[in-house]
Structure 1
């Protein structure tokens, strides 16, 4: 699959995940809305992370002519989302909360920062 196609699929999953995750920060925790939106957000996060792993790094050093440092965030999300789900199923609210806050900060804030760096596709799309 072409890089641009993967990039748009990644955006199509990560943008709604970001919006839903932001909503979750402000709604009542443990409510049915929280659970439903949370499950959907988790699915979008996992899908987006898997898609991003298929995208070769275009900025910075690469490993095996494909993986860059940004891919580490994808792996962290792929490991963290199930961890947070298991934690809440076991009643460990604190671990769930901390894990999901870390996913939010790492997966959206840090990765988002890198996505807008000069030389990146999203930077070119937004700023020309």
Structure 2
């Protein structure tokens, strides 16, 4: 593993990757700790802000251009931002089932699926993780 490709990347990629990497231990903590208490809420807000940072920073990353300067990953970013609002609204409205479903989708659909995509050969995080 070498972080030099990340350190030499443009700032939007650095912000995007650092926020995404910070989400990994935070997600594990949120899935393993007791839900609904003060710690869960504090860590949850941190998770939401980091996920919003990942989604928003993606709009300045335009290496793959399908329509203008955007790609399908930017559509995922829009869905992620809307889903964050829905999940927070559900939690604040005590609709725990909806909150859990949306947050689970965000974790597996946005965070995990997009994360796996970044590990494909030729992508920056592939170079970071595998040192190639």
Normalised by the length of structure 2, the TM-score is 0.87
Shifted more, 84-93 versus 11-20: the winner is 11-20
Q: Distance in 2 between matches of 1:39 and 1:55?
A: 25
Q: Which stretches in structure 2 are left out of the alignment for 5+ residues?
A: 1-7
For 1:63, the equivalent position in structure 2 comes to 67
Report deviation, 1:3. 6.0
Q: Is 1:26 matched with 2:29?
A: no
CA-CA distance at 1:70 after TM superposition? 1.8
Instruction: Point out where structure 1 has 5 or more consecutive residues left out of the alignment.
Output: none
Q: Distance in 1 between matches of 2:42 and 2:111?
A: 20
Tell me what 1:110 maps to: 113
Match of 2:45 in 1: 39
Q: Relative contact order (C-alpha < 8 Å, sep 6+): which is higher?
A: 2
Hey, what's the Cα distance between the residues in 1 that align with 2:102 and 2:17? Answer: 23
**How far did residue 118 of structure 1 move?**
1.5
Count of paired positions? 124
> Over aligned residue pairs, what C-alpha RMSD do you find?
1.6
Q: Is the 8 A contact 1:24 1:37 kept in 2?
A: yes
Q: State the distance in 2 between where 1:18 and 1:125 align.
A: 16
Query: Counterparts of 1:102 and 1:115 in 2: how far apart (Å)?
Result: 18
Determine helix, strand or coil for the equivalent of 1:49.
helix
Deviations 1:37-82 (A, max 9, x none): 0001101110111001111033xx5110x21122222112111111
**What pairs up with 1:74-85 in 2 under 5 angstroms?**
74-85=77-88
Provide runs of 4+ in structure 1 moved above 3 Å: none
